[in-house]
A and B are shown apart, each in its own frame.
Chain A
């Protein structure tokens, strides 16, 4: 769950780093280059964190497989949410992160 949340918010950040989607989600077209770099950096970092957490939990083989599968699912969901309710995308992402944290803490 945590890994999925990380993947989802990672993609959200990457998505926000692109002008067209930035406009869809936040209503402003202009993204400063600094902010774009920051967002895409954060996005890749989150995706990497998702991979790291899965590999630590499941080992290299299973971890990578799960990671790829979760990436696909997360990106598909994000595409749908950006398309049909763009304004809610950051909130959904934050919601997944909270859920992920809760389930991690509950599992620990």
Chain B
């Protein structure tokens, strides 16, 4: 079996892909959804009104923080931008449980906490795609990182295995069983290959500190972690509290100063350390929508005098390289067009993983049919395929339903939305036990389709704002989101229709994937 380079690569590709396929599918799909994190969060808080970010937001937020947490050692303020309509604040509170942080979502114009239902919004998909849920953050990140490394191996070995990469560049032959699954897998993989490589590799880079800490440990021995942070991320060393009180300087002149440094781009974040103390510092961080690189450029001012102390993020190649990779991965710099392209490529990746898993099951079943016996492994893979691929969209729909249906005063409401997501997914895992394969596929896809198609209607009934009303208000985000939900529903319904209508093709004659007769070399395009 393992003779020859290409064969061994095919073996590697099959097993690295299959073992982590279901996790990767979930990571890909929720990660793709995370490109729309602000939009999802906005849709899931129907109480919020449209607001336009303005230059006064910074002063309003700082004033609000002086009321909310005057004694906190540090504030982290994220200002609204064209996509995010709220001001989000975190602050250190030594009395708080856990990691010692509290957070609040503020109205950018008044500085008061927004009165919206308690929800994680798009944040849930974003968090889930790199640290899962119900397991500790560290475990989740390790699991996803390991799966991502498998993914990288699968991509490289897949390119080597796929011998007809150019000859089959445009080839998709539907309705031919295993052949079609292979074609679909190849097309999704090859055409979006730059994206797949980029997203997998940069995903690993994001966790480089966790996965490969030794380089940093060697270069910055002992407790010089702070020196590394200063060099890599441009954060100036922290100043000790002096204990003598001094009021913060007004923020508006500092913002103007920053805008002179970065013409044409906005302030994204404000970090205030030791507010109210004479050692206070105010760090203004440039908005990450301005450049591809996520390597934050920041200016640090003295909080008591307003003098510029430190400017960072200008000319450090290694940090900038990491910044570009980070930026590419999260795609926050991308305008609507590029974001749509990222979204499509993300979906292509999702389909690639799904078709890969299905392809394995189809292949095994054909071999099993020849042997007259279907093994436990094949049945297990088929079962998990249904639960992962058809079940996840249904679970996502359930998450949105929970957002609209759970009472807004409910205790732990945000947590329960997530519980509903996993309960729905768990049901999808049990469901194929009672229904034969194809039936289970069709039913779960139908449930997902119904879930998505009915969501705009449910949302209209429960919030009183239907699609036409939002269109009239010019609230394109909500309107677009409703249309997107409908599109998801139509897509799932189409899949369901295909599955339900499908009649198993007659067993193919001996020729199987990868063994098609070689074409003359002259057929290759170059």
Contact surface of A with B, Cβ cutoff 8 Å:
11, 14-15, 17-21, 33, 40, 61-62, 65-66, 68-73, 75-76, 78-80, 82-83
Contacts and interface: CB of A to CB of B under 8 A. Distances in A.
B345 interface: yes
Contacts of A15: 169-170
A108 B468 CA distance: 34
Given A18-B167, A21-B170, A68-B195, A40 B292 contact: no
Contacts of A20: 171, 523
B164 to A, nearest CB: 11
A38 to B, nearest CB: 12
B526 A61 contact: no
Contacts of B4: none
A65 B338 contact: yes
A72 B292 contact: no
A76 B523 contact: no
A76 B170 CA distance: 8
Nearest to A80: B172
Interface stretch (B186-194, B213-221, B359-367): B186-194
A11 B169 CA distance: 10
Interface string B438-478: 00000000000000000000000000000000000000000
Contacts of B522: 33
A7 to B, nearest CB: 12
Closest 3 CB pairs of A and B: A69-B341, A75-B191, A68-B194
23 contacts: A15-B169, A17-B525, A18-B523, A40-B525, A40-B526, A62-B338, A65-B292, A65-B328, A66-B337, A69-B341, A69-B342, A70-B341, A72-B191, A72-B195, A72-B344, A72-B345, A72-B348, A76-B191, A76-B344, A78-B170, A79-B172, A79-B191, A83-B174
B173 interface: yes
B36 to A, nearest CB: 16
Nearest to B194: A68
A71 to B, nearest CB: 8
A68 B190 CA distance: 12
B181 to A, nearest CB: 14
- Residue from the set A62, A72, A78 with the largest chain B CB neighbour count within 10 Å: A72
B344 A73 contact: yes
Nearest to A17: B525
B421 to A, nearest CB: 30
Contacts of B172: 79-80, 82-83
Interface of A is mostly: helix
Interface residues of B, number: 25
Contacts of A66: 337-338, 341
Interface string B338-355: 100110110010000000
A71 B345 CA distance: 11
Given A72-B195, A73-B341, A79 B523 contact: no
B525 A18 contact: yes
Interface in B187-228: 187, 191-192, 194-195
A65 B293 CA distance: 13
Given A18-B523, A66-B337, A75 B170 contact: yes
A93 B276 CA distance: 64
Interface in B148-195: 167, 169-174, 187, 191-192, 194-195
B170 A18 contact: yes
A69 to B, nearest CB: 3
A2 to B, nearest CB: 13
Contacts of B187: 76, 79
Contact of A76 (B342, B348, B526): B348
A81 to B, nearest CB: 10
A61 B320 CA distance: 13
Contacts of B526: 40
A40 B341 CA distance: 26
Nearest to B333: A62
A33 B525 CA distance: 11
A70 B192 CA distance: 10
Given A18-B167, A18-B525, A76-B187, A62 B348 contact: no
B202 to A, nearest CB: 13
Contacts of B342: 69
A19 B191 CA distance: 20
Contacts of B192: 72, 76
A15 B169 CA distance: 8
A32 to B, nearest CB: 12
Nearest to B520: A19
A19 B303 CA distance: 71
Contacts of A71: 191
